[in-house]
Amino acid sequence: MATKHYNKEIKNLSKDELVAKLRQLEADIFQARLKKMTGQLDNKTSFWKMRKDVARMKMLLSRQIPAPAGNK
């Protein structure tokens, strides 16, 4: 159920807010990747969840950008 609530939450964000959240999440993924390489990452599922959240946000951003006219 938490995923459904999170999806509704990010769908209501503006484009600027989505971009800011996406940048923060990508920075968190970078930090998690460093921890994973040094063996300090305790919860390996959080890394997977962050990557899925990035994919969701990029999908929402691509839906907000209008398609170029004339390309059929």
pLDDT for 1 equals 43
| 40 inside domain | yes
| 36 inside domain | yes
Tokens of residue 59, six digits: 């999908």
pLDDT for 24 equals 95
User: Total structural domains in the chain?
Assistant: 1
Structural domain harbouring 57: 2-64
Which positions of the chain have pLDDT values less than 70? 1-5, 67-72
| 25 inside domain | yes
CA quadruple 57, 60, 66, 67: dihedral, nearest 10: 90
**Phi, then psi, of 55 in degrees rounded to 5:** -65, -40
pLDDT for 28 equals 93
pTM above 0.85, yes or no: no
| 70 inside domain | no
| 71 inside domain | no
Q: What CATH code is carried by the domain that includes residue 39?
A: 1.10.287
* pLDDT tens, residue by residue, 14-33: 889 899 999 999 999 999 99
Q: Say which residue the tokens 């907000």 belong to.
A: 64
pLDDT for 67 equals 63
